[in-house]
Chains A and B, each alone.
Chain A
């Protein structure tokens, strides 16, 4: 605490006056004759005690009033760390702008980001001369103080929304780190935020608090440029049934339409699915109208069939306009291929043994209608060595017996070209030596040890988690899958798994059931029990028997995994690096990337890995990479915003307090508010007014008390 006029503190010595008056110069009482003194005498004692107490109170009030007056006239000012006692002393200030897409929310004919920039420019003008100024946004590049005020202004003017925006907590941490570099004593962070819940995540709070504790005396101002009650419709993340599908399949696109704010208004919106044809023209394939109350969310699903082979791009969008356009459209890219051909090799009679698998992958009904995703060719294991494999995307070995090492080698080569091999071990694998030689072990995930017998039927497939693409389809209804209804009586126990091999799903007793291992660019999957046993012939398991829908899904997903359809990704979140696989046969030195804004950028492929990498995925939309003209390479991918980037729900001050913990921060909405708080933090708080207020109260109390006592 400091004083503007400390000399006036001496006035406090005047406290002595009422004390002396009280002790020495007591008021001389008026002498009066009073016959009824007896009534006075009877109460004199108790009354006197009370009076003395009141007099003491009065004395205290008077002395207090004098002391307060002296103190107030001396104009004390409260100071804390960082307060320099002056508005003009240079400060180290970092302006942090939230540049997330939701800052494009338009209100009063300007976006939140524009409002923040305008406020920021004004603030820059207010900062004392020679201040060190940093400007950060949620893109979070390298941070440094600007060279001068002009360049800081430029930074603010050039602010634009960032598709892949970091949480503000992270940027504030960076701002504090930058402040710590400054030698100036007064350090200030100005955070321009719309107070969206997504940008102040709870899980980052502890780190932020730690960082705040390391920079004591830093003043943090949160400037709320948000709209208190936003009103908006938004689309959720797109969920595609598959990113690679056969031209006979159907594409299911699922998303959610949510509404926030605008209670009381009729809420009906039309959601459209648009696909672009080869010339880039829009084709509205489907639309749905959904009515929503404020705060509600509704699922929207589209199904599109009959897509031609090739890359298809499109978008799901809300028709019409609202305050935030960024979340009104989501983009999608899928690739349509001819049905994948799968070669199924089984013991003689091959067709009979392969029936379960081929019917599961390409059911007869679908085959007749031409809707089957896969085309299965069946051959006997004996004929496998002579069979050309080039046309197939995957090979399945059903209950193989000993094979020539050359055949194993051929399969390994086949797989390493980016294709899949599945081995379903069964009773014919009794000659384990053949399976345990080096060539076979290039495909199999580990040496075969022995057959495990579980005649009680208490062992079944028990996927531990549903993270692998093969089991992911079960994720939604993991608890409802009746694995126990399909017991496994016998299976092959494996020795130590080869490096890189991993268990996709174990049996309920913990032994590996479905095991995969990467082979070159492809993959090999082994099931340690067959899927070709007839139920009446002492089968190893009952997986394909009865209401075997889990088997159906499992084999379909397994096949999709084998042919590589679940591996390719064409839909990314902003900020992720997109990767497009190249056909090794038709590699080109340069590709042209068309961005959603219509820019055409040259891209050089990574020829070693046969892939085209695009890291500039900052804008949401559909990207297209092309080379070699009409007949050449033409693939694309889509970039979408993380739905959290457009999340408009706000947090309240209470929530902020929890985030910041004990660290004091100031929340301001208006310039005047900010100015007051700045002055307080820089200069300290002038106590004149509050002291005067207290003085008035004390004087009032004194007046009241003395009036009560000494009424004339």
Chain B
């Protein structure tokens, strides 16, 4: 469980647990809000009895209790969410980048994915994993067993972000791959042609999937902290540009904002959740924030 140790650090787990214990409703809302359960009434765990009130479904009445007490009680069950989740991880070289943070974008994405996987498995939702660079690379079928988390994390730990990437084509492949409506969580820096990426996201959405896009950028990519003359090189296509960083910062940030804004706008239109993140943000906090927002909306 080296991978699990690496990514599921105790403090993170605690954080997630806290989230779990302290805010049951959030968890429920998180998954509930994402989708309406297609398999209504398939109960797993008994939760509590409650007095029948007119309007309750008569089939929920616990006749055994009625036989014993001569009173109508309704059985309440812990709602079971049987939504299949897919973690879709970008393995592009650029994801392996960090300028001065502890975590690369990829590490950050993995931590985030691990937390979400833990959460879902804890809720007994099956979670699968897909990684891609120019196309799909590895896949792990969704399971909800606890031991599945270990498999998942070890696969993630084995993956190296070092290829070139084609986000759009890979997402199209994902869309084709998934048979049932699922929750697709995309972890990527989205450094591709936004038109094509958005098209592929739409396609996923149109296939009936719920889509969450975790747009992860390095802190340096968000702040542009460079100074003086710098020559910047794209790690994927090795293009170089020499610029005066101080004079460029304002332009760069404007451009980045426009880019994020476009995703935010267009995703909102397609009812895709767009979550911009950067590696300087504590990801648990980021996740929590997202979940709270989501619950509030859902």
Contact = CB atoms under 8 A, between A and B. Distances in A.
- A and B form one complex: yes
Nearest to A50: B247
Nearest to A42: B255
Given A29-B230, A31-B233, A710-B227, A41 B251 contact: no
Contacts of A40: 232, 241, 243, 248, 252, 255
Given A35-B97, A35-B191, A711-B227, A43 B255 contact: yes
Most A CB contacts (10 A, CB to CB) among B217, B228, B231, B247 go to B247
A53 to B, nearest CB: 10
Given A43-B251, A50-B247, A712 B217 contact: no
A29 B233 CA distance: 12
Interface string A699-712: 00000000011111
Interface in B77-101: 93-94, 97, 99
A37 interface: yes
B289 interface: no
B221 A36 contact: yes
Contacts of A33: 97, 232-233, 235
A56 interface: no
Given A34-B232, A36-B191, A38-B191, A47 B227 contact: no
A416 B90 CA distance: 138
Contacts of B65: none
B239 interface: yes
Nearest to A38: B191
A30 interface: yes
B218 A35 contact: yes
A35 B93 CA distance: 9
Interface in B204-260: 217-218, 220-221, 226-236, 239-244, 246-248, 251-252, 254-256, 259
Contact of A32 (B94, B189, B233, B247): B233
B218 A711 contact: no
Interface in B92-115: 93-94, 97, 99
Nearest to B194: A38
Contacts of B246: 708-711
A39 B235 CA distance: 14
A655 interface: no
Nearest to B227: A711
A536 interface: no
Interface residues of B, number: 36
Nearest to A710: B228
Interface string A47-59: 1101100100000
Nearest to B222: A36
A44 interface: yes
Given A709-B244, A710-B246, A39 B231 contact: no
A712 B227 CA distance: 5
A32 B227 contact: no
Contacts of A689: none
A26 B234 CA distance: 23
Contact of A30 (B220, B228, B239, B248): B228
Nearest to A37: B234
Contact of A712 (B97, B228, B235): B228
Contacts of B217: 36
A55 to B, nearest CB: 8
A27 interface: yes
Nearest to A34: B232
Contact of A47 (B97, B189, B231, B243): B243
Nearest to B240: A31
Nearest to B233: A33
Given A31-B233, A35-B236, A50-B247, A44 B241 contact: yes
Contact of A51 (B97, B99, B247, B252): B247
B248 A35 contact: no
A514 to B, nearest CB: 97
A48 B243 CA distance: 8
Nearest to B218: A35
B247 A35 contact: no
Contact of A39 (B227, B236, B252): B252
Interface string B108-149: 000000000000000000000000000000000000000000
Contacts of A32: 99, 226, 230-233
A199 B235 CA distance: 88
Given A44-B241, A47-B251, A51-B247, A37 B232 contact: yes
A40 B235 CA distance: 14
B228 A31 contact: no
Contacts of B248: 40, 43, 47
A40 B259 CA distance: 12
Nearest to B234: A37
Nearest to A28: B229
A699 B240 CA distance: 34
B82 to A, nearest CB: 38
A689 to B, nearest CB: 35
Nearest to B255: A39
A28 B230 CA distance: 8
B229 A30 contact: yes
B219 to A, nearest CB: 12
A51 B252 CA distance: 14
Interface in A666-712: 708-712
A710 B247 CA distance: 8
Q: Which of A28, A711, A712 has the most CB of B within 10 A?
A: A711
Contacts of B243: 40, 44, 47-48, 51
A49 to B, nearest CB: 11
Nearest to A52: B244
Contacts of A27: 228-229
A31 B247 contact: no
A46 B247 CA distance: 11
A649 B234 CA distance: 83
A708 B250 CA distance: 12
A696 B32 CA distance: 69
A234 B64 CA distance: 130
A34 B256 CA distance: 14
Contacts of A38: 191, 234
A39 B259 contact: yes
Contacts of B218: 35-36
Interface string A64-95: 00000000000000000000000000000000
B24 to A, nearest CB: 39
A41 B241 CA distance: 7
Which of A26, A46, A710 counts the most B-chain CB atoms under 10 A from its CB? A710
A711 B189 CA distance: 28
A31 to B, nearest CB: 5
B251 A37 contact: no
Given A47-B251, A50-B247, A54-B247, A35 B221 contact: yes
Contact of B247 (A39, A47, A712): A47
Contacts of A44: 241, 243
A58 to B, nearest CB: 11
A711 B259 CA distance: 26
A165 B256 CA distance: 86
Contact of B189 (A35, A43, A54): A35
A703 to B, nearest CB: 14
The 9 closest A-B pairs by CB, nearest first: A35-B94, A29-B229, A34-B232, A39-B255, A43-B251, A37-B234, A29-B231, A36-B221, A31-B231
6 contacts: A28-B229, A31-B230, A34-B235, A40-B252, A47-B243, A712-B227
Interface of A: 26-44, 46-48, 50-51, 54, 708-712
Interface of B: 93-94, 97, 99, 189, 191, 217-218, 220-221, 226-236, 239-244, 246-248, 251-252, 254-256, 259
Given A26-B229, A33-B235, A36-B221, 10 more contacts: A30-B228, A31-B233, A34-B235, A35-B93, A35-B234, A35-B235, A36-B218, A39-B256, A47-B247, A712-B227
